[in-house]
Amino acid sequence: MPPAARQDKPAYNSFVGLSADPFDPNYADVDKIIDTYKNEDAEKELAKKHMALGDDPRGGIDKISAASIKHSNPEDDRYLEKLFDGYSSAGKTPEGLPSSEDRVLNKWNTQLASEDVMRQWVELSDGAMEKFMKDNFDKVWDRYDQNKKGQIDMLDTKPFIRELLTSLQPPMTGKGVDPVEKFNEDNLRETKKESQPQFIKDKETKEFNKQVEKAVGEANEE
């Protein structure tokens, strides 16, 4: 007696509806979908590992803006000048002749120099570096190379790198305080305080103590 003819089951468009019956013509589709999900999960996991740095899943990318503020001393500016000069090349005079005085940087060398600065000032994962440059470099570059020459002047390199590094500057808080500006102001205030002569510090302390004593006396009289 011949076996009963197997009835084809209806095809389903969703993963849930597909049959796991090896005789079902849609069974191969199930394998493909499972493999796709496995590959996607593996790619996401690799991307996370590529981005992470220690316990920081964002690889240090949120520290870039603060690092620029922190490294704003004269020696940091000299470091930037020396670094970008090493990546620069001779510009050209209006007549088209090489000019050693007018140094310029093309886009590729500017990106390489910018990455060197970031690696020097903040610890970043490779994934964080790639994401930051992909999301921000071209936007800043287009503002400095508006004539599409493919290069910027050496004089523009410091403003360029400062603007690039603060591309992810933290937003205003609910109280209207910019965390980066507050960090800069606090740092400047402490620097000024440390640089004051001792007699000024002593004078400020004495005046403060007098104000406290006066306030306490008035409170006792009441």
Taking 90 as the threshold, does the pLDDT of residue 141 lie above it? yes
Q: Residue 25 has which token pair? A: 């013509």
pLDDT for the residue numbered 80:
96
pLDDT for the residue numbered 165:
94
Top mean pLDDT of 56-60, 138-142, 206-210 is at: 138-142
Report pLDDT digits (tens) over 144-168. Answer: 999 999 999 999 999 999 999 998 8
pLDDT for the residue numbered 92:
74
Question: How far from chain centre, in Å, is Cα 90?
Answer: 30
Please give the average per-residue pLDDT across 54-81, as a whole number: 89
pLDDT for the residue numbered 202:
56
Q: Is 38 helix (H, G, I), strand (E, B) or coil?
A: helix
Taking 60 as the threshold, does the pLDDT of residue 179 lie above it? no
Choose between 138 and 184: higher pLDDT: 138
Maximum CA pair distance of the chain?
A: 116
Domain boundaries, the chain: 18-51, 61-165
Report pLDDT digits (tens) over 91-131. Answer: 776 666 666 677 899 999 999 999 999 999 999 989 889 99
Element (H or E) spanning 123, and its range?
Answer: none
Choose between 58 and 116: higher pLDDT: 116
Q: Are 128 and 58 in contact (CB under 8 A)?
A: yes
Banded model confidence at residue 204, pLDDT cuts 50, 70, 90? low
Taking 70 as the threshold, does the pLDDT of residue 67 lie above it? yes
* Rounded CA separation 58/84 (Å): 28
pLDDT for the residue numbered 79:
96
Taking 90 as the threshold, does the pLDDT of residue 175 lie above it? no
Choose between 72 and 6: higher pLDDT: 72
What is the CATH T-level fold of the domain 61-165, as seen in this structure? Recoverin; domain 1 (1.10.238)
* Rounded CA separation 144/132 (Å): 18
Q: Are 140 and 160 in contact (CB under 8 A)?
A: yes
